[in-house]
Structure 1
Amino acid sequence: MDEAFVKLDPILKSDQKTKLVALRARMGQGRGGQRGGMTSGVVYILKDGKPIPVPVMVGATDGSFTEIVDRSGTIKEGAAVITGGGPKAKVQARNPMTGGGGGVRVRGL
């Protein structure tokens, strides 16, 4: 799959590349994230003042420094990378009037 993305890169317009990067990030998360002891993740770089998602593989960490591997080659040495501080994921509200599916329910939390 990575080979196909590499072949596409030279023919895509800038906005298409941005969408492709976001798609690849979502695809990596959908596989469960594990690959050779590394976990898939996303960092952002600034392009024209806007954050652009870049899929990465997250490796070893000591809590202060973390290894990241950018297989797309988007992140250049010395580039400023945004790793957090963005919006929190939204929790989907459930309607208490509809019956829930199967599974465990925890009430009062």
Structure 2
Amino acid sequence: MGSRRTREYERGEERRSISWGEAPDGCVWVRETSFGPDTRISFGAAWRETALTFQPTDLYDIADVDHAADSAGDDFFIGDIEDALSLWGIPYRREARMGPVNP
């Protein structure tokens, strides 16, 4: 699947990971997954996953995702990438999944 990087974060029982890379077709993908008590409270689900996919351009590509991750440290979230894509007018696809829902 080409290049891939992952960051994992732990805060108490909450676990979050964010991964990004390039697909064989040249698209860039970014995926954030979380589970734990904060996810259950915030999203009403045991886990959640959000994925963004976009075609890189001269304005924004995988190097920019790398830079955002390196600059943000522990404060790196998929929303940072989504905001940048919107700012630069880069079309992207967003997919979100959650499950199972809390009773």
Larger relative contact order (Cα-Cα within 8 Å, sequence gap ≥ 6): 2
Higher strand proportion: 2
TM-score normalized with structure 1 length: 0.26
Richer in helix (by share): 2
- Compare CA radii of gyration and give the structure with the larger one: 1
When the two structures are superposed, what TM-score results if normalisation uses the length of structure 2?
0.27
